[in-house]
Structure 1
Amino acid sequence: MGAGKTTVGRLLADELGVGFLDSDHAVEEHAGKAVQDIFVDDGEAAFRALEREAVAAALAGHDGVLALGGGAVLDAGTRALLADHRVVFLRVGLSDAVKRVGLGAGRPLLLGNVRSRVKQLLDERTPVYEGLATISVDTDDRSPQDVVAEVAERLREAR
């Protein structure tokens, strides 16, 4: 959350000359409502199931950059789907994450004390991200263009 997945993903897709897809947007299109409404109306488990389906469909039919929601890889099924793919972890520190998400408006997992909640999410999720990632890139104090340049270079090296 706040790492720049959508921004960097779009720019990276342009750099590589491929399409871009955001799993949250795919879920919203399929469900006909916003992610935050799915969380409120149907619960996180229902959202994660929709998210897993969206990731599976994207991996099967989308040939480009796929940006995942920050909690997508907490689902074992989604992790299994990603196992044979290149996965980029955009690492963000607490201070930069809090600055980027602001007050967390529209982010259902940030209800309450934003800084405390972001820290908790980073602490819980970072080991999962690091375990799944084939490439990890720090984003703190860097422009999206600089992050894209490093990701693109590292993807080319990994071929």
Structure 2
Amino acid sequence: MSAPLAVLVGPMGVGKSTVGLLLAERLGVGFRDTDDDIVAAQGRTVADIFVEDGEAAFRAIEKQAVRAALAEHTGVLALGGGAVLDAGTRGLLAGHHVVYLAMDVEEAARRTGLNTARPLLAINPRKQWRELMEARRHLYEEVARSVVATDDRTPEEVTQEVLSALELKEA
């Protein structure tokens, strides 16, 4: 059975795609992001799916995208911030090399501006982000083999920490 070398989870804006690309490059493998898979398959943005179909419809699509990526991809995989909400998805992550990329609200504000292009943060972004993290932090921790803090660190520093945490060797 094939499996990703590393699976990155964490909140929106934490740098899963940026670190994932760097990590894949350093390991000499491919990178895949389930949000990108969803956009390609649906022909519309994640925000548009939320607005037009609702969060429940998006989560169902996301669940299938994660299932497919875990079964097919052998490189570095980044999951959307809410993928861990589904118990079935959390079960699928068991046994994988999952890394939770963590950050605090001030770092989130600095990186993303907590802007309204993110559908779950449209009203009172700082409060919404804190509430999302209160609801999700334990789920990220549940599925993760390692936790890597990203606050005040460059993508390169975070990538090196992920390599060390998973004891992976560069290509």
- The TM tier, using the shorter chain, reads over 0.9
CA contact (8 A) 1:89 1:135 kept: yes
Deviations 1:34-84 (A, max 9, x none): 100110111111111111111111111111111111100011121111112
Normalised by the length of structure 2, the TM-score is: 0.88
Among the aligned pairs, what percent are the same residue? 55
Residue in 2 that maps onto 1:18? 29
* Within-5 A mapping of 1:42-121: 42-121=53-132
* Structure 1 Cα separation of the partners of residues 16 and 90 of structure 2: 17
Provide the aligned length of Structure 1 versus Structure 2. Answer: 157
Q: Which runs of 5+ in 1 are unaligned?
A: none
* Structure 2 Cα separation of the partners of residues 41 and 124 of structure 1: 24
2:42 to 25, 28, 31: 31
Q: Which runs of 5+ in 2 are unaligned?
A: 1-11
Structure 1 or 2: larger helix share? 1
* Structure 2 Cα separation of the partners of residues 104 and 71 of structure 1: 17
Residue in 1 that maps onto 2:9? none
Normalised by the length of structure 1, the TM-score is: 0.95
* Structure 2 Cα separation of the partners of residues 84 and 31 of structure 1: 29
* Structure 1 Cα separation of the partners of residues 142 and 162 of structure 2: 18
Superposition misfits of 4+ residues, deviation over 2 angstroms = none
